[in-house]
Amino acid sequence: MQKRKLGSLETSALGLGCMGMTHAYTPVIDEQASIKTLARAVELGVTLFDTAEVYGPFTNEELVGKGLKPYRDKVLIATKFGFTIGDEAKAARPSGVDSRPDHVRQVAEASLKRLGVEVIDLLYQHRVDPDVPIEETVGAMAELVKEGKVRALGLSEASAATLKRAHAVHPIAAIQSEYSLWTRDPEENGVLDTCRELGIGFVPFSPLGRGALTGALKNLDGLAENDFRRGLPRFQGENFDANLALVHLLEEMAAKKDVSAGQLALAWVLAQGDFIVPIPGTTKIANLEKNIAAADIDLSAQELAELGDLLAPSKVKGERYPESMAKMANK
């Protein structure tokens, strides 16, 4: 697979988001199936694997660490900290954020143990803590780098201004935010431009619109009652119907190119810059293989423009998060 850079880290052009193996979408956790998917990803050249302490919580890091243990010298493991995790997190909906310096060290040490590794390749702050200056948080993260417990630092869902402040304290290798054909916030809020300016990698999560852009989700009947998407505005009522009509157009365009809708959507994201490394998630090897094949799709300037217009932000109905989650994003 093609290689790309996230700051000082070299990685495959596509990574694997592991959240869905234990969290948000999965009604029944199939550890052995997930381990096989991890192994197949490595076999196909994927080197970046993304997890977080809050996924589960905690169980995702344990699964990823177990599944990647035989390949540790071939892969980069990224994990994230920053949510408040207590009894309320048993419902997988943390109530707040915590990026105090002493907490940063505490959760990093715990993640190292759960992953079963001596160093975390890429440590992200999962959400910016409005009560703690980013300089203090990144300073604490930088201490972990000096101690050899972390290789590189990242932020998630941070604003361009916060990213610049963080980078001034210690080089930020990557910032992670939602980005896809139907979510263009990083284009509009200056984050992508800041990445280009400072040489920071950009890692889009949900590059397939949480599965919507694959065309496989025709209705919500097959989703588990506790599926995360049931609470997202874009997947509800008239919003979902209107967005599904846009996905039908994407499918039609993909058919003309003899690829799947999901592959076309991923190819568009990859074409937005060589500093971009999407991390589509899946628990199924067949879907993994389709996603990886998207890295070999070439799109003309005209095709890119047509795709960009097809699912332009003005056409997509509904916010990406409900208000309770949206307020955690740094603006």
Which are the catalytic amino acids?
55
- In this structure, what token pair is assigned to residue 51? 């997890």
> In whole angstroms, what is the distance from residue 297 CA to residue 291 CA?
11
CA distances in angstroms from 21 to 26, 61, 133, 265, listed in the order given = 7, 10, 33, 22
- In this structure, what token pair is assigned to residue 134? 């980013």
DSSP state of 236: S
> In whole angstroms, what is the distance from residue 119 CA to residue 124 CA?
14
Could you tell me which of 263, 223, 261 has the C-alpha nearest to residue 240? Answer: 223
> In whole angstroms, what is the distance from residue 222 CA to residue 324 CA?
25
- In this structure, what token pair is assigned to residue 10? 């070299």
Characterize the bridge pairing of strands 16-17 and 48-50: parallel
